[in-house]
Structures are given as C-alpha cells and as structure tokens.
C-alpha cells in the first residue's frame, strides 16, 4: 500500500539491475521533525513545526509522560546529540543533516555526516539473531521488499538515545518498522511505525520526506562534533577528585 498522502511514484524512478528501486544517493529532510515530533510553536531553540506524527500527539503512558517533561526541561544539557552520541533509529533519518545510501542487492549502507555513524540494512533474506546479547545504538535492521516499497524491521536498541530535541524518548523495548518508497525520482517518502509498550499505549507512526541533494559537487564532509564542556555532562563529575 502507498503511504497515505504520498503521490504514486513516477515510472522513471531509478532502479538497480534487478528492477528494485535504487535508493542510492545523498538525502536530507527539510522537516522540523528533529526539533519536535509533535506540533509545536516556535521557541528559542526550535523553529515552529506542524509535527510529523499521525494523529498529532504521541500516545504516552501516564507513568511515562512525566519523564518526557523532565527531558524537555533538561534538553539544553541532556540531549545525547550534544555529546556526539549516535542518534539512533528513526531519529538519524530525519536529523537535519545529509546522509548517503549505498545500495547492493544484499544490503543498503546508510552513512551519516553527523557523528560518522554507519548503519547496515540487510536485504538478503536473513532474519534477526535469535538473541542480541548486547543492545545496538542503531539496532539490527532486516529489510524486505513489497513491490517498490522497502520495509525494514529494526530491533535490539540501547535505551539511551532520544527521538528528538524535545525529549521524546523510548525504552530498550523499542521496535521500529520503516517504509521507504519513491514519490518521484528525487524524493523518498519515509514512514516509521514505533512500538514500545513500556512507554506508549499503542504503536504510532511518523512520516517525513527525504530530498535528494543535487547541489553541484555535493558530498558528505567529515563533520566534527563538538561536545559540551566535560563538567556539564559527565555523569560522575561530582564524585571525582
């Protein structure tokens, strides 16, 4: 099924030799999703945005909503991106920085300018491991094709990443299902359905558009990430001599 609200892709979308859509290229969102997934007015640290979540607001459990408020209050110090940590999934896709997709029949590699993080999406028919001993910053990604839509199932996360700069968060029970499909040859519709029963009362879905960077000579550039001063974010600063 096509993503709601997305136009049917034109017949001239790029394809690999096997006939599958070719998502290779450098992509970037124009949305305000990373500032806040929910509808929000402009504030000192964020432009206004209509939100990208179907239905508007995230369905927090009553016992989880308070932590979101704490995260928001402490966002200027505690957002993991300020420590140059890996952004996680799905946040790394709608973070307002470019990333490159390199595609082969057996996998896709996503290389992000922020933090130099690299993620592999396996499309060779393999399944998630029976058990994941150590959680992964970007999860374990296994993709399948349904027509021209790439569906990626992602599990096995750390719980230390956030979903945006407003403090929306997840637990280690996070399960993400991504869908990518072309709207036109230079635009991808990206949909992520998030399931996390420890934090949310039901699964919820977000959608953003990814635009191909077609600027002359555009390429990913080594992006140095500058952390907050040590004393502002080190968890054991008060106990150290």
Q: What is the pLDDT of residues 95-145, one digit of tens each?
A: 999 999 999 999 999 999 998 899 999 999 999 998 888 899 999 999 999
The pTM of this model reads 0.89
Query: Residue 91 is inside which H or E element, if any?
Result: helix 91-94
Looking at the 3D structure of the chain, how many domains does it have? 1
- How much is the pLDDT for 104? 96
Compute the distance between CA of residue 25 and CA of residue 29 in angstroms, rounded to an integer: 13
Question: Of 176, 218, 166, 216, nearest to 88 (Cα)?
Answer: 176
Question: 6 in a domain, yes or no?
Answer: no
Question: 117 in a domain, yes or no?
Answer: yes
Question: 70 in a domain, yes or no?
Answer: yes
- Domain assignment of residue 81, given as a range: 25-215
Question: 9 in a domain, yes or no?
Answer: no
Residue 162 pLDDT > 60: yes
Question: 97 in a domain, yes or no?
Answer: yes
Reported for 152-159, long-range contacts at CB under 8 A and 24+ positions apart, including other chains, are: 152/121, 152/177, 152/178, 152/179, 152/180, 153/128, 153/177, 154/89, 154/178, 155/128, 156/128, 156/129, 156/132, 157/88, 157/89, 158/88, 159/135
- How much is the pLDDT for 116? 85
- How much is the pLDDT for 133? 82
Question: 19 in a domain, yes or no?
Answer: no
Question: 236 in a domain, yes or no?
Answer: no
- How much is the pLDDT for 224? 66
Residue 33 pLDDT > 60: yes
- How much is the pLDDT for 238? 39
Question: Of 14, 53, 1, 4, nearest to 182 (Cα)?
Answer: 14
Question: 233 in a domain, yes or no?
Answer: no
For 119, phi then psi, to 5°, come to -130, 140
Residue 192 pLDDT > 80: yes
């Amino acid at each position: 099924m096509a993503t709601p609200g997305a136009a049917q892709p034109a017949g001239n979308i790029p394809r690999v030799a096997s006939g599958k859509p070719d998502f290779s290229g450098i992509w970037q969102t124009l949305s305000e999703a990373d500032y806040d997934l929910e509808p929000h007015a402009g504030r000192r640290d964020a432009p206004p945005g209509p939100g990208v979540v179907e239905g508007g607001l995230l369905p927090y459990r009553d016992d989880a909503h308070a932590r979101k408020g704490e995260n928001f209050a402490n966002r200027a110090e505690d957002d993991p991106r300020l420590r140059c940590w890996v952004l996680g999934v799905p946040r790394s896709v709608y973070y307002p920085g470019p990333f490159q997709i390199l595609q082969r029949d057996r996998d896709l590699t996503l290389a992000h300018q922020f933090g130099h993080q690299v993620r592999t999406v396996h499309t060779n028919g393999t399944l998630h491991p029976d058990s994941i001993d150590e959680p992964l910053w970007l999860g374990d990604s296994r993709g399948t094709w349904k027509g021209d839509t790439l569906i990626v199932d992602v599990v096995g996360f750390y719980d230390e990443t956030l979903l945006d700069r407003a403090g929306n968060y997840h637990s280690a029970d996070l399960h993400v299902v991504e869908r990518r499909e072309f709207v036109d040859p230079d635009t991808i519709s990206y949909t992520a359905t998030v399931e996390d029963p420890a934090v949310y009362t039901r699964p919820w879905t977000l959608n953003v558009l990814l635009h191909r960077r077609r600027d002359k000579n555009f390429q990913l550039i080594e992006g140095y990430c500058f952390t907050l001063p040590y004393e502002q974010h080190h968890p054991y600063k008060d106990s150290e001599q």
